[in-house]
Structure 1
Amino acid sequence: MVEALRGFFGMDEDFVRETPRRPSLSDLVVAVVLGVISMALVLTYDGIADLSGDVDVWPNLGAIAAAVALLAYRRVFPLSVMVLLTGVHFVAAGSAWPLVASMPSMQVVYFLAMYTAMAYARRRDTLALATGAVLLAMMVWLVAADSYQRSINPDEFQPTAWYYVATLLLNAAYFGGALWLGRNAWRQARDADVLAQSQALVKAQAQQLAEQAVLAERLRIARDLHDSVAHHISLIGIQTAAARRAMESRPAAAADALRDVEDMSRSAVAELRSLLGSLRDVSPTTGVGGSMEALRALADEASTDGLVVTFELVGDPAGADDLTTTQGGALVRIAQEALTNVRRHSTADHARVVVRLGDDCTELEVTDDGLPVPRSGGSGLGHVGMRERVAALGGTVDMGPRSSRGYRVHVRLPRKAHA
């Protein structure tokens, strides 16, 4: 029984619902409307000849005004308002001014006070004690009122057992309904808070994963850059040695070797400058001149389980030799990520990988003919990786659904980095 009560009032919960510091406009409007209705009823009863003698107008209006003032602060001080309004005010008004306590509009006032305390109280253990005190006061008052009526009207007031059954059920529904609805409102606020915290945690973890992915990408590009620079430096060493040997006997050959050294030095420095500020990750590097073969092999490898992937090279194949190590590796990795997304998130049965070798830029286009698979959205880290890698090489990337059907990834990389 104790555990059930603790669970009902949420005494073991850590959640604390935020309460406003001042009455809201909606609280003020509700309190004023209920007060105006109650005052109008008092004045209406006072205008009826048979009832006017039993209506003490000003004390009744004063009691209603006090209830309205308390009700306006029901969410600011939920526990205090419940005790003062549903407990003290109800008992006092029921004893001194029965008309006030019995009006339907005032019954709504008392109901809202108990409902709001259950929905907003911060101290749930204090709420349980205060609720028990209010219910006990109500029970004592009902018994006392019944005994008083019996004593002053022994002949006229002789209720049957059904009267007490109806009274008990009516009060149980009244107070039980207020507590139950308030409890549900508090639990809904708690669940919404838990959901908001979970969403914030997921967002923070997604941001962390994205940062980790970018960091890993930078580390891989650092390895790519190492391979590229090492390649250039090795060639520079070979050409320099050749120039030194031919300097006296073949000055023309030595000059050609030095020009090659100059070109390779500029290329290495340009590539270093283009990548050094955006180091990031993916997978092993594809060597210069081998990227087209790697893309063709990737298309063949991806053509399984109902998905046919074709590779097309537009332009002079010899132009692929002008791609730097990092450019070739980036094209392979972007195509790999794009085809992985097709397999995971699309119903496509055909995809195309097209490379266009132009004079000024190299283009990679990966398209498919499928529809998105429902509820298969990814983390977005793959797109982050592709954009980072392309930006590191001074290129552009365009990703999104095609106008007809399917998805398209289009990458443009400058053929040579500019020093």
Structure 2
Amino acid sequence: MIAQRVSDFFGTDDDYVRARPDRPWRTDWVIALVLSVISMSVVMYLRDVNADAHEFLPIGWSLVAITTAGLLITFRRAFPIAVLLLASGVHYIVFGITLPAVVSVASMQILYFLGIYTAMAYARRRHTLMLSIIAVLFAMVVWLVVADSYARSVQPDDFKPTLWFYIGTAVMNLGFFGGAIWLGRQAWLQAKVNHELAESQRIVREQGERLAAQAVVAERLRIARDLHDSVAHHISLIGVQTGAARRAMATKPDVAAQAMQEVEAMSRDAVAELRGMLGSLRDVAEDGSGSRTIDALASLAEETSGNGLVVGYQLVGDPTLAAAMTPMQASHLLRIAQEALANVRRHSTASEARMVVRLGESIELEITDNGRAVPHTTGTGLGHVGIRERVAALGGTAEIGPRSTRGYRVRVTLPRKAGE
């Protein structure tokens, strides 16, 4: 029960993965620099007002401690768990033992606080985060116990800390670590709520667009039925008038001439209606053309980029060959690309993805990324099944799986003509 509650607190079983901001160090280095300058200024001030401070506040080692803490915090959102372990764990304990006066400076405490807070707010591997937080807290407890034992051993016999000393120490540490963990978790939960709201809005928007597209298709079907009825009506009348003119041509040329005039008028009306209706339907064939699909793939790469993921696009070969793609090939190629990029964002830690389209004797689409699989986000596998079925229906081949170095690859190859 307790283990499950702890797991739920850290969100280890949650599928949500918070996207990293683009180039977060651009703002984090400013925060780290300001806090580091403040920390060094406080150290120099203490050295000036207290001559004994020169012994426990050496300039060289104080500068090393402050600078390394600032450098680590600069990368707190890019590598949250690593910074948690190195800054709020190793750095805090090592320099807390060797330079406790430096670690105790308020601005340095803020740097350590940010390490814990950011890990809770941005870590993508929540199970690893939970273990790291537990390890840091355990190390802190051990350090406090050892430090207290050492202080009691070197202090005079009449130095006896009271119960309030230990209560105060416990309360301060609980407030420091507990506050950082709780505030970081609240930030993560708020980001999750915002993501779910944006996802809901996206679904509503896509459903609206789908309904609008369905309405357009329904209207075009109605136009097609009207076209069929109109052409059939005019053709049947033309047949009747032509037959009457043929029979009256020898005996009643005036009647035959009038019938032919009616045929001419009805033919013109039929052609005019046919042109008008076909004009409204002309873009149906263009929507599924290969050239438009190639443009759509480039747009898809641009639209998918963002929220910590950069998608590159490259077209290899003669772009004019795209015009020879069948509507089915064009449609399936776009759907495969959408599914592959959605999987990269949903199930991977990738920061970069690459989409390459090769046009030559065959049609090839390859999508690769540089990420690793995110634990506890395993999908149903239906996306891969759908990709393989689409490729098989066109007589092509599909290669789906992890790369030999790092990342994942989806590569499909389609023949120029289905069945080749």
**Which bracket does the TM-score occupy, shorter chain normalised?**
0.5 to 0.7
Q: What CA deviation, in whole Å up to 9, does each residue of 1:206-235 have, x standing for no partner? A: 333222222221111111122222222232
Q: What CA deviation, in whole Å up to 9, does each residue of 1:212-267 have, x standing for no partner? A: 22222111111112222222223223322332333233222221121111001110
In structure 2, C-alpha distance between the alignment counterparts of 1:23 and 1:272, rounded to whole Å: 59
Structure 1 residue aligned with 2:144: 142
Does residue 133 (structure 1) correspond to residue 149 (structure 2)? The answer is no
The one-letter code matched in structure 2 to 1:128 is M
The correspondence for 2:180, drawn from 178, 181, 187, is 178
Q: Report if the CA contact (8 A) 1:79-1:130 is conserved.
A: yes
What is the 5 A alignment of 1:232-251? 232-251=234-253
Q: Report if the CA contact (8 A) 1:240-1:258 is conserved.
A: yes
Does residue 39 (structure 1) correspond to residue 40 (structure 2)? The answer is yes
Structure 2 residue aligned with 1:11: 12
In structure 2, C-alpha distance between the alignment counterparts of 1:53 and 1:276, rounded to whole Å: 90
The correspondence for 1:75, drawn from 68, 74, 77, is 77
Q: What CA deviation, in whole Å up to 9, does each residue of 1:4-24 have, x standing for no partner? A: 101111100122223368652
Structure 2 residue aligned with 1:265: 267
Structure 1 residue aligned with 2:289: none
Q: Which moves more between the two structures, 135-144 or 187-196?
A: 187-196
Specify the SS of the correspondent of 1:278: helix
Give the TM-score taking structure 1 as reference length.
Answer: 0.63
The one-letter code matched in structure 1 to 2:14 is E
In structure 2, C-alpha distance between the alignment counterparts of 1:203 and 1:46, rounded to whole Å: 62
Structure 2 residue aligned with 1:368: none
In structure 2, C-alpha distance between the alignment counterparts of 1:185 and 1:104, rounded to whole Å: 23
What is the 5 A alignment of 1:54-203? 54=55, 55-155=57-157, 157-203=159-205
The one-letter code matched in structure 2 to 1:43 is M
The one-letter code matched in structure 1 to 2:78 is V
Deviation at 1:45, TM superposition (A): 0.7
In structure 2, C-alpha distance between the alignment counterparts of 1:129 and 1:7, rounded to whole Å: 13
Specify the SS of the correspondent of 2:280: coil
The correspondence for 1:276, drawn from 278, 290, 302, is 278
Q: Report if the CA contact (8 A) 1:243-1:257 is conserved.
A: yes
In structure 2, C-alpha distance between the alignment counterparts of 1:24 and 1:109, rounded to whole Å: 15
In structure 1, C-alpha distance between the alignment counterparts of 2:264 and 2:23, rounded to whole Å: 76
The one-letter code matched in structure 2 to 1:4 is R
In structure 2, C-alpha distance between the alignment counterparts of 1:181 and 1:129, rounded to whole Å: 18
Q: Report if the CA contact (8 A) 1:82-1:113 is conserved.
A: yes
In structure 1, C-alpha distance between the alignment counterparts of 2:150 and 2:174, rounded to whole Å: 22
Residues matched between the structures, number: 280
The correspondence for 2:233, drawn from 227, 231, 234, is 231
Q: Which runs of 5+ in 1 are unaligned?
A: 281-419
Structure 1 residue aligned with 2:208: 206
Structure 2 residue aligned with 1:412: none
RMSD: 2.0
Q: Report if the CA contact (8 A) 1:17-1:189 is conserved.
A: yes
Q: What CA deviation, in whole Å up to 9, does each residue of 1:155-177 have, x standing for no partner? A: 45322222222221221111111
Question: How has the CA–CA distance of structure 1 residues 52 and 170 changed in structure 2, closer, same or farther, with 3 Å as cutoff?
Answer: closer
Question: How has the CA–CA distance of structure 1 residues 261 and 21 changed in structure 2, closer, same or farther, with 3 Å as cutoff?
Answer: closer
In structure 1, C-alpha distance between the alignment counterparts of 2:281 and 2:187, rounded to whole Å: 51
Bigger radius of gyration, 1 or 2? 1
Q: Report if the CA contact (8 A) 1:220-1:279 is conserved.
A: no
Specify the SS of the correspondent of 1:233: helix
**Aligned-residue identity in percent:** 55
Specify the SS of the correspondent of 1:224: helix
In structure 2, C-alpha distance between the alignment counterparts of 1:229 and 1:18, rounded to whole Å: 57
In structure 2, C-alpha distance between the alignment counterparts of 1:15 and 1:145, rounded to whole Å: 40
In structure 2, C-alpha distance between the alignment counterparts of 1:41 and 1:157, rounded to whole Å: 29
Q: Which runs of 5+ in 2 are unaligned?
A: 283-420
The one-letter code matched in structure 2 to 1:24 is W
Q: Which moves more between the two structures, 144-153 or 171-180?
A: 144-153
